[in-house]
């Protein structure tokens, strides 16, 4: 991917193209560089003439980028939100003038999408913060720098200003954000730790899924065994990259799908779970204003702990 450059003035995002991004579509490249931005939002910026390459307007969203080019996006001022603020439970771990760190509940969608227009984290954050949110991701995803899946619980950072958003996006792009997860997966491991280095792309046979594909984008997940239960294993995982469904895809790829994951694992499970046993338990980064490293932790939710208790009980009875 490219390297986010100096953001310049208010409302401007700049990213330099690296060798590994040579030939990628400009909309895909910029969406990744602006971590968390949707492809559709970036395409709308290109169509409005707000995206330039080395100072010249990018006319086509399919235009390939070249190593050494600088791609800039002039982010328009925020417009009235299309998403309604809702007074929903919101577990705030940390807050100041620049960022908000929240502990998302399992089952909550991060931002509105078809079929999930309300009850999302964005609805809750809008109620809490009002218009004090970054506008970089548009009116549907204000402040959203990165995401976790609906049934994944745990920590997320929300940007309250465009400057904070640019700083956090740059840190994500440079792999400078600490993200550690806890998971319960099927089967035992012969080794105590390992790494899955397998590119990920859209599954050509199922548009809802992603898969480990040679033609996909680079993806690296490190894992360490925490507890063994014979037929199941508790893992600690850390991410070098942040691809869609990365942990779920990588664990399924090495034949250890997440317990409860109906998309990448067995359709039914003995625990009657609806959704994967995955928790974003540690999040660390340099504060966008002070530059000091800060780190937050969150214990797994009750449903995760109850499954662990049952597995430990089953082990004792063996």
Q: What is the 3-state secondary structure (H, E, C) of 217-240?
A: ECCEEEEEEEEECCCEEEEEEEEC
Any catalytic annotation for residue 162? no
Strand partners, 202: 210
**Alpha-carbon distance 56 to 199, whole Å?**
32
Catalytic residue among 27, 98, 103, 149: 149
CA dihedral angle for residue 221, residue 226, residue 232, residue 238, rounded to 10 degrees = -20
Diameter of the chain by CA atoms?
69
Structural tokens at position 313: 């009980």
Residue 308's φ and ψ, nearest 5 degrees, are -60, -45
Q: Which residues, 6 or more positions from 179, have their beta carbon under 8 angstroms from its beta carbon?
A: 238, 239, 242, 280, 282, 283
Structural tokens at position 47: 């169509």
Q: Of 241, 244, 245, which Cα lies nearest the Cα of 258?
A: 245
Structural tokens at position 32: 């990744």
Catalytic residues: 149
């Amino acid at each position: 991917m490219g390297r986010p450059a100096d953001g310049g003035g208010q409302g401007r995002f700049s990213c330099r193209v690296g060798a590994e991004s040579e030939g990628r579509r400009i909309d895909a490249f910029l969406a990744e560089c602006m971590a968390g931005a949707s492809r559709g939002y970036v395409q709308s910026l290109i169509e409005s003439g707000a995206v330039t390459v080395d100072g010249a307007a990018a006319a086509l969203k399919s235009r390939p980028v070249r190593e050494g080019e600088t791609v800039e996006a002039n982010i328009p001022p925020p417009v009235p939100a299309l998403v309604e603020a809702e007074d929903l439970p919101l577990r705030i771990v940390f807050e100041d003038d620049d960022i908000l760190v929240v502990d998302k509940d399992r089952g909550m969608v991060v931002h509105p999408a078809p079929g999930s227009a309300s009850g999302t984290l964005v609805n809750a954050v809008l109620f809490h913060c009002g218009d004090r949110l970054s506008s970089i991701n548009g009116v549907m995803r204000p402040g959203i720098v990165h995401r976790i899946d609906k049934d994944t619980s745990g920590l997320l950072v929300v940007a309250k200003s465009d400057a904070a958003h640019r700083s956090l996006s740059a840190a994500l792009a440079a792999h400078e954000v600490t993200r550690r997860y806890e998971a319960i997966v099927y089967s035992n491991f012969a080794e105590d730790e390992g790494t899955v280095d397998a590119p990920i792309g859209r599954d050509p046979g199922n548009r809802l899924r992603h898969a480990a594909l040679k033609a996909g984008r680079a993806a690296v997940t490190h894992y360490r065994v925490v507890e063994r239960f014979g037929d199941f294993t508790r893992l600690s995982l850390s991410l070098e990259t942040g691809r869609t469904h990365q942990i779920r895809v990588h664990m399924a790829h090495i034949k250890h799908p997440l317990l409860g994951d109906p998309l990448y694992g067995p359709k039914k499970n003995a625990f009657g779970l609806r959704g994967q046993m995955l928790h974003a338990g540690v999040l660390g980064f340099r504060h966008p204003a002070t530059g000091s490293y800060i780190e937050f932790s969150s214990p797994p939710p009750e449903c995760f702990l109850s499954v662990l208790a049952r597995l430990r009980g089953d082990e004792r009875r063996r």
